[in-house]
Amino acid sequence: MEPALPEALHIARFDVPPVVPFWRTVVKRRSGAVIPHVEARASALPGDPGAYWAVCGLPPEEVLPVCFPDMLCRGLQLAVLTSPRFPLPLAGIVHARQRIEQVRAIRRGEALAGRVWVEGHRTVRNGGEFDLHTEVSIPGGTDEVVWHGVTTIFSRSLPGDGVKRERPAAPVFEVERTADWTLSSDLGRRYARVSGDVNPIHQYAWTARLFGFERAIIHGWWTLARCAAELQLPPGPVSMEAAFVSPLFLPSTARFRTGRGAEGRLFEVRAGEGLLVAGRVAS
């Protein structure tokens, strides 16, 4: 096991905070900031996915949903992102991409430990991107890592370079199954109560407009969890990645589609003809 870094925050148990004070999400504004290594760990993670299952439309099972380990570490993530060492405001950041590697199925009630860290960023056209790493392991002698997620986050608080980059073309696949979703105006607030993620862009239209969005948008993690439910993934190892191409506004309707393509099993979410999410999964 690697040695503890001096700036790491070690916590015996870290529950998901029900509310983060709003001032802690907006007061930090450091132009041209460099993101240092900031880390938080917990030797025991809390939580039962009961309320999560309901809000994401997932059936109760004896193993944890593939996206749920991230939510177990939400308190650690918020500890990192609201740390005095982290230079950017939390409010207004946007979930841009996600990668998940689940090594094996995680049983409900299994003892778990968590580690979250961030370091450095990349410059893009209108700001910067940074990677938030989340790792879930089995505490004990081996510290077996069973789940690792890389959340790529966009922030306008970082200086951009003004360079327009071409978006990768969405993979083409033959659609095998579709599902239509209806998202209510309060879905972001309901998911926030379960997850602890109270970013204003997800709450109300007026709070979202403060950060450049015409309406509230649903959390990327809710969308990915709903995609996982539609994919009906079997318990066991899972590799999943997704790009959040455009916001999924609230309220709205959307269509999920999945099928096989040249790059394996693919999925997407669209509103009308507009592509919102594009991803792939292997299990």
Nearest to 247 by CA among 213, 280, 273: 213
Q: Which CATH class is domain 9-282?
A: alpha beta
pLDDT of residue 186: 93
| Predicted structure pTM score | 0.83
First and final C-alpha spacing in the chain? 28
pLDDT of residue 261: 81
The pLDDT-based confidence of 225 (bands split at 50, 70, 90) is very high
pLDDT of residue 7: 42
Helix, coil or strand: residue 167: coil
Lowest mean pLDDT among 110-114, 121-125, 233-237: 121-125
Q: What is the mean pLDDT of the chain?
A: 84
pLDDT of residue 195: 83
The per-type count for the chain, helices as H runs and strands as E runs, is 7, 12
Cα 138-143-146 angle, rounded to 5 deg: 50
Helix residue ranges, H only, the chain: 22-26, 50-56, 68-72, 74-81, 187-195, 205-209, 220-231
Write out pLDDT tens, residues 89-114: 877 688 899 999 999 999 988 999 99
- 161: pLDDT strictly greater than 50: yes
User: Do residues 130 and 111 touch, judged by C-beta distance below 8 A?
Assistant: no
Helix residue ranges, H only, 22-114: 22-26, 50-56, 68-72, 74-81
- 15: pLDDT strictly greater than 50: no
pLDDT of residue 30: 54
pLDDT of residue 264: 80
